[in-house]
Structure 1
Amino acid sequence: MPETLTLDQAYRAAFFMTDVYVGMESRPDEGLVLFHQYLQSDPARWEDWKEAVRKALQPNAPVDPLRENLIRE
């Protein structure tokens, strides 16, 4: 696995992760289904994605999902 991804690759990864979750749940959350549809069809999604990446790259972002959910110290 590479240590870094392009914006396109990261977007695909987010899409496929959502796709897998929606596909494996017998009754996926409606909001997640709508988000999945948005990732496929809304023309604004690419600009929204780039804004999300900019936020993720900020050193003092108010929320760090890795620290809060994955990193166990």
Structure 2
Amino acid sequence: MGTDEQLPENLTLDEAYRAAYYMVEQYVALEKQPDVGLVLLVQYMESDPARWIDWIASVRRGLSDASTINPQK
């Protein structure tokens, strides 16, 4: 998908998880000396079986408290 193509308004939980993973992975790959916490986060997102339960809990929290963080700022 190119940068000029329209993005969907909504994502599935799987799609949103992959997007979050790629965001962190991209940052780690671009940085000369990436933060060890982000490296560990990528490893966790790839391999820890608890990641899906944690992801669902995070989605629920994000839906219930929209004022916590503004992704547009």
Instruction: Please give the range of the TM-score, normalised by the shorter of the 2 chains.
Output: 0.7 to 0.9
Distance in 1, Cα, partners of 2:17 & 2:42? 12
**Cα RMSD, aligned residues only:** 1.5
After TM superposition, the runs of 4+ consecutive aligned structure 1 residues lying more than 3 A away are: none
Matches within 5 A, 1:27-38: 27-38=33-44
Distance in 2, Cα, partners of 1:62 & 1:17? 20
Q: Between Structure 1 and Structure 2, which shows a larger proportion of helix residues?
A: 1
User: Which residue is equivalent to 1:11?
Assistant: 17
Long gaps (5+) in structure 2:
1-6
Matches within 5 A, 1:1-73: 1-58=7-64, 61=65, 64-66=68-70, 70-71=72-73
* Count of aligned pairs between the two proteins: 67
Aligned sequence identity (%):
51
Which residue type is aligned with residue 38 of structure 2? L
TM-score (normalised: structure 1): 0.84
Which residue type is aligned with residue 5 of structure 1? L
